[in-house]
A = this chain, B = another copy of it.
Amino acid sequence: MKTSEPPKVEVVCVGSELLSGRVDTHTAFLARRLAEASLRLDRGTTVPDALDAVRDAVAAAAARAEVVLVCGGLGPTFDDLTREAVAAAFGRALAYHAPIYAGILRRYGRYGLRVPSNNKRQAFLLGGARALDNPHGSAPGQRLEAPGGRLVYLLPGPPSELYPMFEASVLPELKRRFGRGLQAAARVFRFYGLAEAACDQRLAPVLKAFPQVDFTILADLGLVELHAAARAPRLAAAEALLAKVERRVAAAMGEAYFSREGDSLPEAVGNALMKRGWRLATAESCSGGLLSGALTGIPGSSRWFVGGATTYSNALKTSLLGVSTSLLRKHGAVSEEVVRAMVQGTADRFSTEVSLAVTGIAGPEGGTKTKPVGLVYMAAKAPGRLEVSRKIFPGTREQVRRRAVAHSLSLGLSVLRS
């Protein structure tokens, strides 16, 4: 099923702000979506809003790649120069299209807005280009064939416009054009509790066993993701191949493989709760609300998440969670005894079957020889089950807090699944 070399794809991001401190998320988005069509990005170039720079970057990309995705610089202001720059790169003229401008006017009218005087610029198309519909903004995208059959797409910069336009007007054509009748299936496998290097090592034989599948490994703060994409003449065959991959992945990764359905950790916790008909509450000290924040990030979490307490002061640990003052005095707020009392008190006070508790020292201050910065106690409780974990997490205050959240969720999953 191994197919011939896929076409080269490059992205050119246009925008001075991307070279002045704004993080580029376009490239990562496009890479992930392309992977699902078994296409890979070969190069990313970021240039400022300068005509020469955009022109040169697009021309160079089109000399190397079969597909060039140009993002940004289609707005109405003087520094939106992508249209002019790409026209110069391929020696095309720009022509005004009255129906496009009429559409822009209608759009502004619908929102009761005055049309900025310079908005006519957005109604110019490159010679030979086709406009791509933009339901979420005024600038249409453009698609043109450059010499040698190269496909060049001009796409808007705002993610709220770029993402839907890419899905609706670009990806289907790329699949048709380069898919050779193949259907693509994609899966995400998620792991927790193993370092990236350890995952790499365990997954290596699996990846080797499926040379016809595209794999990408991503890791962040103890969570590792394996993205897999397969293509076959029929979708069912591509999906069957990924089901085989899944069995091998599950066998290789054991406990670390928590997400059968591509769930994130909070989704996996929510799904496990719903399966049992149980509800959850949280008590947090060093994570300061980020654990309940992660859980309530899941749409519909009100079905299984009741509430949480952020108890930064010892007095609140006592009044809200019923942790005894003598326990706090004797062992300190960051201790196994206190996290046990917190997780029990949370279940009692919030009347839930399941509870999670976190207490630790996120730093950068507050560490001691015996209780260093990064020390975190976490506990998860379900009917008849209790797990307590002590970790010393590396990293900054924010990293310690985020690792504590991920680890607490994995503890929750563990008591829910056992």
A contacts, CB < 8 Å to B = 17-25, 27-28, 31-32, 35, 40-48, 53, 57, 160, 216-218, 227, 282, 284, 286-293, 295-297, 299-302, 305-313, 315-316, 320, 350, 363-365, 395, 397-398, 401
Contact = CB atoms under 8 A, between A and B. Distances in A.
Contact of A218 (B20, B24, B311): B20
6 contacts: A18-B44, A20-B35, A21-B28, A286-B296, A299-B365, A307-B310
| A287, A288, A316: residue with the most chain B Cβ atoms closer than 10 Å | A288
Given A17-B216, A307-B320, A297 B288 contact: yes
Given A22-B28, A305-B312, A316-B350, A299 B397 contact: yes
B19 A27 contact: yes
Nearest to A311: B307
A284 B284 CA distance: 14
Given A216-B21, A309-B309, A292 B297 contact: no
| Interface SS of A by simple majority | mixed
Contacts of A25: 23
Contacts of A27: 18-19, 23-24, 46
Given A21-B227, A43-B57, A44-B45, 11 more contacts: A19-B40, A19-B44, A21-B31, A23-B23, A23-B25, A23-B28, A24-B24, A45-B46, A287-B293, A289-B292, A302-B313
A168 B402 CA distance: 27
Contacts of A28: 18, 21-24
| A307, A313, A364: residue with the most chain B Cβ atoms closer than 10 Å | A307
A238 B363 CA distance: 34
A364 B299 CA distance: 7
A160 B399 CA distance: 11
A352 B308 CA distance: 19
A24 B47 CA distance: 15
Given A20-B218, A312-B296, A320-B320, A47 B43 contact: yes
Shortest Cβ-Cβ A-B pairs, 5 listed: A288-B296, A289-B289, A289-B292, A44-B46, A289-B293
A290 B284 CA distance: 12
A41 B24 CA distance: 14
A21 to B, nearest CB: 4
A291 B27 CA distance: 30
Nearest to A21: B32
Contacts of A350: 316
A167 to B, nearest CB: 15
Nearest to A45: B45
